[in-house]
Amino acid sequence: MSLRHTLLGFLSYGPMTGYDLKKFMDNSTQHFWHAQLSQIYPTLKRMESDGLVESMVLPQEGKPNKKVYSITVAGRDVLMNWLRSATTELPPAKEPNLLRLFFSGALDDDTLLAQLRQQLALHRAQLQRYEDETAAYIEQQIIETGRERDGMMWELAREFGVGYERHYLAWLERAVEMIARSQDGQKGA
């Protein structure tokens, strides 16, 4: 259900097209909610027939016409109800990399270490991105839109990402160390 909520959330900032919505998602909610254009377009269509959004076609030359969506009163209602709704359970997660590790007892130490080091590199890069690009993007968005309170939420989400990557890195580093040490022990014996 949450793609609908994501679209309502962005449209609550102002009217825009499906294409615009995709770009906003790629730049901001990407790491906690994402979608392809091929899912966004039909979802907007269904949301319109459900009365949550309405569209206006802007004719263009040399490009397909723009279809600009706005949130309706009913849409704002659905959005606010979602924002207020209680969290009674932790959402189930799918983490293929953890799953892989869980069953990696069958791998030799070298392959296992290579796996973990690959992940280390990816997470280091992601931490960097949160600290540089994402921070700059949020600051710029706050200046451009003047949405300071929303900006506080965006910043909180970014800080979650930073904390998450730091935890992930610390854990990976400990795991690598542990396995490397147990390997030395075997070679030395």
Partner DNA sequence: CCTAGCATGTAACCAGTTACATGATTCA
Partner DNA sequence: TGAATCATGTAACTGGTTACATGCTAGG
User: Is 130 within 8 Å of 161 (Cβ atoms)?
Assistant: yes
**Contacts with a copy of itself in 85-114 (CB under 8 A)?**
86-107, 111
Q: Write out the two tokens for 120.
A: 């280390």
Residue 23 CB, nearest distance to DNA (Å)? 6
**Distance of alpha carbon 21 from alpha carbon 41, whole angstroms:** 10
19 binds DNA (CB under 7 A): yes
Q: Which is nearer to a copy of itself, 68 or 122 (CB)?
A: 122
Residue/partner pairs of 104-109 with CB below 8 Å, 24 or more apart: 109/179, 109/180, 109/182, 109/183
176 binds a copy of itself (CB under 8 A): no
Q: Which is nearer to a copy of itself, 62 or 92 (CB)?
A: 92
Q: Write out the two tokens for 68.
A: 């600009």
Binding residues for a copy of itself, total number by CB under 8 A: 66
**Contacts with DNA in 62-91 (CB under 7 A)?**
62-68
Residue 22 CB, nearest distance to DNA (Å)? 8
Residue 108 CB, nearest distance to DNA (Å)? 28
Residue 159 CB, nearest distance to a copy of itself (Å)? 7
| Range 50-88 burial, b when 16+ CB lie within 10 A, else e | eebbebeeeeeeeeeebbbbebbeebeebbeeeeeeeee
In the complex, the residues that contact DNA under the rule CB under 7 A are: 1-3, 17-20, 23, 34-39, 41-42, 44-45, 60, 62-68, 92, 94
